[in-house]
A and B are shown apart, each in its own frame.
Chain A
Amino acid sequence: MTLNLLPTGRSATITKIHSKNAERRRMFDLGILPGTRIENVMPSPLGDPIAYRVRSSVVALRTEQAELIEIEETLELK
């Protein structure tokens, strides 16, 4: 499944990033890479972009960017 389908409040682990070139580089620089945990924090008023928490920071991604990020929903052990 891709990141844009992750419901609000849920977390997942990134498995693959299909973004290309500068955008791919940008994702890596923001700490978004395979193996990273990412949480859907909340949508913006219009539903796009969505705020995600990654490595203690919150970043906003547009749907077209989130669609390129494959994730695997994992059970969080607490």
Chain B
Amino acid sequence: MSVALANDCGGCATGCNTAQLTRLGIKSDGFDYIIALAGNPNTGKSTIFNKLTGLHQHVGNWAGKTVARAEGAFNLNNKKFKIVDLPGTYSLLSTSVDEEIARDFVLFGKPDVTIVVADATRLERNLNLVLQILEITDRVVVAVNLMDEAKRNDLTVDERALSRDLGVPVIPMTARRGEGVNELLNAVEKVAGGGYAARPHRIKYSDEKIENAVQTLAKQLNETFENLPNARWVALRLLEGDESIIRAVREQTLGNLKQSRGFPQLVQLEV
């Protein structure tokens, strides 16, 4: 079934690019790109997921609704995208099982693009997760959803300034009315195809001792685990004392990666 999304555009006068979108439901095998859909709880991730895939993943106004990840697919301009709807999470420094699902997928699922859905009315709190994801990957599109509610509360979002500051595309949306879906698809396609030069905002650790410790640990991790993406991120979590990451490293279940060499029993850090 082919759906011309332009019909959802309403009287869009700017004549935006009419994306050739075909919703593929759950037929997600043999894809060109894999997209992760992350964000705080109750920001509209599942609504966006349904708009893109034509599926009817249960949408509900409560936290913890998507406890496992849901997968779907769509075709866009002859490229097949698999999209994974993740449970809502406030943070990648997780404390619960559903948050760990989201974290592990963003970290180790190696998505080509991660869409971070943010609530326009609670942008400040939502940006915490955006910054955490930008520490891991620069292939990010930020979807600022619930713009209709923001408008109702007299809030305006300067998406251009936000995009400049974050260094990744920022798309304002009202997903339940289909607003911003075309713009989101354009941005996702651009980032997936490498046509967007991201300059991700990264938190800098000014303390030289922390920086040295991170580098030492990251090097050890890279030597121990084959193909570990984000060794730096893992090193930071180890230094922070994140129990679930410490356990994953100790039990060698980190991202289900096989250990390539013996892990050093004791890592000496000069802190």
Residues of A within 8 A of B121 (CB): 56
A25 within 8 A of B: yes
Q: Which residue of B lies closest to A23 (CB)?
A: B95
Question: Complex: how many Å from CA A57 to CA B124?
Answer: 10
The answer to whether A26 touches B95 (Cβ under 8 A) is yes
Residues of B within 8 A of A29 (CB): 90-91, 93, 128
A62 within 8 A of B: no
The answer to whether B125 touches A55 (Cβ under 8 A) is yes
Nearest Cβ on chain A to B112's Cβ, whole angstroms: 26
Q: Mark B206-248, 1 if CB is under 8 A from A, else 0.
A: 0000000000000000000000000000000000010100000
Q: How many residues of A contact B (CB 8 A)?
A: 11
Residues of A within 8 A of B27 (CB): none
Interface size on B, as a range, is 10 to 19
Q: Mark A2-45, 1 if CB is under 8 A from B, else 0.
A: 00000000000000000001100110111100000000000000
Interface centre among A26, A29, A30, A57 (most CB of B within 10 A): A29
The answer to whether B91 touches A25 (Cβ under 8 A) is yes
Question: Complex: how many Å from CA A28 to CA B93?
Answer: 10
Residues of A within 8 A of B125 (CB): 30-31, 55-57
Which listed residue, A22, A26, A55, touches B122 by the CB 8 Å rule? A55
**Interface set of A (CB-CB < 8 Å, partner B):** 21-22, 25-26, 28-31, 55-57
- Give 10 new A-B contacts, CB below 8 A, not counting A21-B241, A56-B124: A21-B243, A22-B95, A28-B91, A29-B90, A29-B91, A29-B93, A31-B125, A31-B128, A55-B122, A55-B124
